[in-house]
Amino acid sequence: MSKSQVLTFTDRGIYCPAGDFYIDPWRPVDRALITHGHADHARDGHNRYLATQAAAPILKHRLGGIRLETICYGETRNIDGAKVSFHPAGHVPGSAQIRVEVDGEIWVVSGDYKLEPDGLSEPFEPVKCHSFVTESTFGLPIFHWQAQEEVAVQINDWWRHAIANGITPMLGAYSLGKAQRLLSLLDSDIGPILSHGAVENTTAILREQGYTLPDTILVQPDTKGAEYPDALVIAPPGALGSTWARRFGKVSTGFASGWMQMRGVRRRRSVDRGFVISDHADWDGLNRAVTETGAENVFVTHGYTDIFARWLKDRGLNAGIVSTEYEGEAAEGAEAE
């Protein structure tokens, strides 16, 4: 790491001195490059924003009238002394890794990512670089994801089983990304899909952008559960067990997240069913991503940073830790996934 740093780590976020911009900063800055629309990456209050075209509608929806420039995947843009391009991260629709090149030295900031194509998000592309800034939300070898088709079978079986017993299945999922991914896995032949307002908003925006998603019925204030005996309900995690959920009478709650791999978390959530499915890379995914970049230097952020960094050092890489405002370590907060 002898060359001048292409990116530095500041108390506002990841900074590029040559281009005078920040990536996913958490305090107001003049110019912010945004990897994707989740609240812990795309924050309010910056002067100018740059994000992918695909991420733009969600950003505008979430942050209102921001000054937003867009860029296509793979397109190169010069910002002062830095060459910048965005590459698919496979995390949620529109999400990107950001490649920054200064004087031939290449750094890539992964944002959040997963390697498995989910059929909805633009699939992850490895980008060769000298230094790689990687997330590590699930950076422990206890995390191994099943193929999403297998999880789809489990969810659809649970749906069939619930309605056969006169119970409404209610699936909790974060409204941007996870909810739509689950929608695309549901078997609409079983019954209609009812959707909570927060999920429906995001789904409608993505549908308009051209992402293929099944039909959903928005739950209105006067919607009664009894009108849809075969339906599955999809809602943000916070709506499970709320007064909003009461209209559905007897429900079986399900929660879809990588954290559901652990019994302790599953029991603490006290949901009836936990489905192990994540929009972050699992242990093997993180390792493969690091290898495929060819990077000699790896900076680990968001998650089990110290453990994953130590593991990478064991493997002979230069690995460091980047702390963020958001200790993602086992964070089960609303935006951890």
Partner 1 sequence: MKRFARLFREIDGSTKTTVKVAALASYFQEAPDDDRLWTIALFSGRRPKRAITTTRLREWAAEKAGLPLWLLEECYPVVGDLAETIALLLPEPDAALDLSLTEWINRLRDLAQQPEETRKTIILDAWDKLDTTERFLFNKLITGGFRIGVSQKLMTRALSQATGKPEPELAHRLMGNWTPDDTSWHDLIESEDGSTDNSRPYPFYLAYALEDEPDALGSPEDWHAEWKWDGIRGQLILRGGEQYLWSRGEELITDTFPEFSRAKDFVPEGTVLDGEILVWNDGPEPFNALQKRLGRKSVSRKMLSELPVVLYAYDLIEFAGEDMRQRPLEDRRAKLATIFDQLPEEAPLRLSPRLPFAAWDELGEIRETARDNRAEGLMLKRNDSPYLAGRKKGDWWKWKLAPLTIDAVMIYAQSGSGRRANLFTDFTFAVWNGDDLVPFTKAYSGLSDEEFRKITAWVRKNTQERFGPVRQVTPEHVFEIAFEGIHASPRHKSGVALRFPRISRWRQDKPLQEANTLDDLKEMLAIYG
Query: Could you tell me which stretch among 37-45, 121-129, 187-195, 323-331 binds partner 1 (CB under 8 A)?
Result: 323-331
Binding residue for partner 1 (CB under 8 A) from 99, 273, 280, 302?
273
- Residue 275, H or E segment: strand 273-275
Using rule CB under 8 A, residue 161 touches partner 1: no
Using rule CB under 8 A, residue 335 touches partner 1: no
How many angstroms separate the CA atoms of 194 and 201, rounded? Answer: 13
Query: Could you tell me which stretch among 29-37, 98-106, 185-193, 256-264 binds partner 1 (CB under 8 A)?
Result: 256-264
Using rule CB under 8 A, residue 305 touches partner 1: no
Using rule CB under 8 A, residue 79 touches partner 1: no
**Residue 266 one-letter amino acid:** R
Using rule CB under 8 A, residue 317 touches partner 1: no
End-to-end CA distance of the chain: 31
Using rule CB under 8 A, residue 149 touches partner 1: no
Give ∠ CA 300-333-176 in degrees, rounded to 5: 90
Q: How big is the site for partner 1, counted in residues (CB under 8 A)?
A: 27
Using rule CB under 8 A, residue 140 touches partner 1: yes
Helices and strands counted in the chain (H then E) = 7, 19
Using rule CB under 8 A, residue 321 touches partner 1: no
Using rule CB under 8 A, residue 104 touches partner 1: no
Angle between helices 178-185 and 148-164 (to 10 degrees): 70
Using rule CB under 8 A, residue 327 touches partner 1: yes
Residue placing its CB nearer to partner 1 in the complex, 208 or 314: 314
User: C-beta of 223: minimal distance to partner 1 in Å?
Assistant: 26
| DSSP string for 57-101 | HHHHHHH-S--EEEE-BT-EEEETTEEEEEEE-SSSTT-EEEEEE
Instruction: Region of 177 please: left (phi>0), alpha (psi -120 to 50) or beta.
Output: left
User: C-beta of 142: minimal distance to partner 1 in Å?
Assistant: 4
Binding residue for partner 1 (CB under 8 A) from 307, 317, 321, 334?
307
Q: Which residues contact 221 (CB under 8 A, 6 or more apart)?
A: none
Question: Dihedral of CA 65/69/73/78: which sign?
Answer: negative
How many angstroms separate the CA atoms of 231 and 255, rounded? Answer: 17
Binding residue for partner 1 (CB under 8 A) from 68, 190, 213, 265?
265
Question: Dihedral of CA 43/279/337/130: which sign?
Answer: negative
Angle between helices 56-63 and 197-209 (to 10 degrees): 140
Using rule CB under 8 A, residue 270 touches partner 1: yes
Binding residue for partner 1 (CB under 8 A) from 24, 172, 311, 319?
311
Using rule CB under 8 A, residue 164 touches partner 1: no
Query: Could you tell me which stretch among 29-37, 129-137, 194-202, 257-265 binds partner 1 (CB under 8 A)?
Result: 257-265
Q: Which residues bind partner 1 (CB under 8 A)?
A: 140-144, 261-265, 267-268, 270-273, 304, 307, 310-311, 314, 327, 329-333
